[in-house]
Amino acid sequence: MKERAVFIEGVRLYLKCGVYKEERDLGVQTQVSVRVVSEGFVDYQELYNLLLKAAEGVYTYLEDFQDNLLEEIINKWNPKEVIIKTIKLTVPFQHSFEGAGVELRWAREK
């Protein structure tokens, strides 16, 4: 049995996502990486398109965005494992750091 991990790393885009209304209205700069482990073929262009489609929504939490994208990936490829890392590059804090975010790790039950 072969398994392959198809991934897209560091896609920079604006997500309308945040607790604050301004974040949901204007969008925040994010960086998204997705990794899909599957026994079958996963087309990374289609994966990119699913990512862009999910990014069109409006979300309160990064977790909501990730759950939406995860559901689309599962429905499309029935993968063994998916990792989605989403980093907000602009956050409403006063201190300096590169970003804050959430990493979702999902695995199919055996």
Q: Are 57 and 65 in contact (CB under 8 A)?
A: yes
Domain edges within the chain: 4-107
HEC assignment per residue over 36-70? EEECCCCCHHHHHHHHHHHCCCEECCHHHHHHHHH
Q: Span 27-56, mean pLDDT? A: 95
Which architecture, in CATH terms, is 4-107? 2-Layer Sandwich (3.30)
User: Does 97 score more than 70 pLDDT?
Assistant: yes
User: Does 43 score more than 90 pLDDT?
Assistant: yes
User: Does 3 score more than 80 pLDDT?
Assistant: yes
Q: Looking at residue 92, what is its pLDDT?
A: 66
Q: Looking at residue 2, what is its pLDDT?
A: 78
In percent, the amount of the chain with pLDDT more than 90 equals 76
Q: Does residue 75 sit in helix, strand or coil?
A: helix
Q: Span 74-83, mean pLDDT? A: 96
